[in-house]
Amino acid sequence: MRAQIPLRITSLDPATKFSETCHTVVVNPSGCGIRFRYALEPGMQVRIDDLPGGISATAHVASNVPLQSSSKYFLIGISLDQPANWWCMAPSPQDWEQYSSTPQLASAR
């Protein structure tokens, strides 16, 4: 589902330190695509903060693709460690019904 949701991505990899605000381009219960100003290594563990409702989730980088050949931005695929409706989409699409409950591993900031 297309959605621009502001959030913060923080690296959990001790060798690569960053914490940056960005926004989603697309979301689903398994993850999201974010617009980011540089490529991230697939497999990198990240924490997503400032999700709707003030919760956080852990995830990993699944992919990265340049948005355009001349662009300095990348579309980063993020795979959530626990699929859920982290985005608080309501009403949610019908195929999200099994993810309608509040994420169990959510943490309030």
Cα maximum dimension of the chain? 41
- What pLDDT, on a 0 to 100 scale, did the predictor assign at position 74? 94
Residue range 52-78, pLDDT digits in tens: 888 999 999 999 999 887 778 999 999
- What pLDDT, on a 0 to 100 scale, did the predictor assign at position 93? 82
Is residue 86's pLDDT more than 60? yes
- What pLDDT, on a 0 to 100 scale, did the predictor assign at position 100? 67
The verdict on domain 6-83 having CATH code 3.30.420.40 is no
CB of 89 closer than 8 Å to CB of 5: no
> Average pLDDT for residues 7-21, to the nearest whole number?
95
User: Is-above-0.75 flag for pTM?
Assistant: yes
Q: Is residue 109 very low, low, confident or very high in pLDDT (cuts 50, 70, 90)?
A: very low
Give the residue extent of every domain in the chain: 6-83
